[in-house]
Homo-oligomer: A and B are copies of this chain.
């Protein structure tokens, strides 16, 4: 023990000299940790409030403007068309007409197909491709978003409503429910935007959405076997086991004519899709393919009809514009809750897709999308849509990509598309009479295959194992449980991860990088060396009720392990424990008590505890034992040791 003790004294001398040397060359005085400027409660509440709800400072354009200018800016805020409309030129129109016609060729077949996904009559897909794009052109701020029905929202609405009401047995109630859900979706979306709660969609993280979308794609793809095989009696459930058992229990119903036709067109569609992926400038190949397939198959069936009736067709569609449907927006009791739930889930999903797509193309062209403003636009569009026989719509990823590639410059391409759909609704509907439903199934399969993003999943695995897990949970949840359960599970797991991060914050031992004032994790930086007689611990999270107990236990364990290490290596004793609180950005009452408790426990083992910078701790300790950097702490304390020794 005597040897160790003399070692100790030597060590202290050496250390303090080294550090003192460093210290004197760099700075003479120890910097005071200071209190932040005093804020009144009102000021701090105002600050927090504006950080939560107005992080992007949306009113900054209005600052220092004349009232008349403010009014104009305000009108432009809600109707972006007034902003770009005045500068609209013939050159822009040319681009917009071309892109508008391109997406229109996609819109009709996809609209009809997605309506089928939502278990609605085909016409509602076309209605939904007419009114909403017009409204979005006036209200929306994205220049490339192609608006209309989308697969995910259609699928979710279809599966949630079908679970309670059969679309074949009670089509009127089903339609009422779909329109009411759309109305609620619009109300929900608008409220999120107006209340500036747009950040709620952030809780649908990328892994959640990737897994969810892939799961939904698999289910939808398998469900299309009904159409592809010509089965008439099929399960209404959305779960993989019942879908597959339904397929194989109805082998008698399979129609070979349908299968052959379906497979041919599916291969054709997939081939065009493949071409467009490989050669992006040939985007129009896959964009034109659905319409080409519809025309070709319709002609084929028309020619074949006298010979066979095995292939089911869309049948009669009555021409005419969207009928008003405000009178349909009423359901009672239990159905009201269903409509509300469906509205919220499909509303949030369609919002997520619309905003993500808008942001993607905005970023490519270097303009910004105001999320909350977009929510209001999409919400109003859906509320108005629900009164004009449209079900839930948003910006579609696939059509927006085509729109962008076809050279769309402004939302006018949406107007062109709507005009084309208008012509279809008024004059061209009889042409769809002989369109086989199998072609719709093939279009849906081609669309949903693009939703399975396996590269992204591989990336999750590489970047973050937990993200990978969340993605799998969403995927298998959707496949084996249900669309809603999968989504809820994945969101729950994501939130659980945040809570676990807070509950189990990282604590690391820091060491000095020789010749510098830099302190780094000794487990990571090989040249970071522990400063003898000091234990420097960094806490890397806010300290709050959820982790205060853990931190107490963990710090005591670090101290115990350090004691054991010192004993094993016969190093000099530990005298001071420095808590590096750089990464502790907040502390609550529980956290503060934990610090007091840790200090008390260490005092009993006759260690000194030194923290640095944190307003509340500052108030608690009155500036004693607080330093701005770990380096300063060690320098100052070593100096005092020397005096004591």
Contacts and interface: CB of A to CB of B under 8 A. Distances in A.
Interface of A: 25-27, 31, 34, 36-37, 41, 44-45, 51-52, 55-57, 60, 199, 202-203, 205-208, 363, 366, 368, 371, 459-460, 463-467, 494-495, 497-506, 513, 515-518, 520-521, 523-526, 540-542, 544-550, 553-554, 556-557, 560, 582-583, 585-586, 588-590, 592-593, 597, 600-601, 604, 616, 628-629
A368 B629 contact: no
Nearest to A44: B465
Chain A: interface secondary structure? helix
A55 B560 contact: no
Leading 3 A-B pairs by shortest Cβ distance: A205-B545, A540-B585, A583-B583
Contacts of A503: 199, 202
Nearest to A204: B545
A545 to B, nearest CB: 3
A628 B524 CA distance: 13
A27 B463 contact: no
Chain B CB within 10 A, most for which of A464, A540, A629: A464
A553 B560 CA distance: 45
A466 B587 CA distance: 11
A589 B202 contact: no
When all copies of this chain in the complex are counted, the total is 2
Nearest to A51: B504
Contacts of A547: 202
A237 B557 CA distance: 48
Given A517-B517, A518-B629, A26 B27 contact: no
Contacts of A586: 501
Nearest to A366: B604
A524 to B, nearest CB: 4
Contacts of A526: 34
Contacts of A616: 463-464
Given A41-B465, A498-B546, A523-B36, A541 B26 contact: no
Contacts of A494: 545-546
Nearest to A616: B463
A37 B540 contact: no
Given A26-B25, A582-B582, A553 B588 contact: no
Contacts of A366: 601, 604
Nearest to A545: B205
A63 to B, nearest CB: 10
A544 B463 CA distance: 12
A628 B583 contact: no
A554 B53 CA distance: 12
B202 A593 contact: no
Nearest to A370: B553
A459 B589 contact: yes
Given A494-B545, A583-B582, A466 B206 contact: no
Contacts of A363: 597, 600-601
B525 A55 contact: no
B465 A593 contact: no
B202 A548 contact: yes
Contact of A56 (B56, B557, B585): B557
A208 to B, nearest CB: 8
B549 A199 contact: yes
B525 A588 contact: no
B464 A588 contact: yes
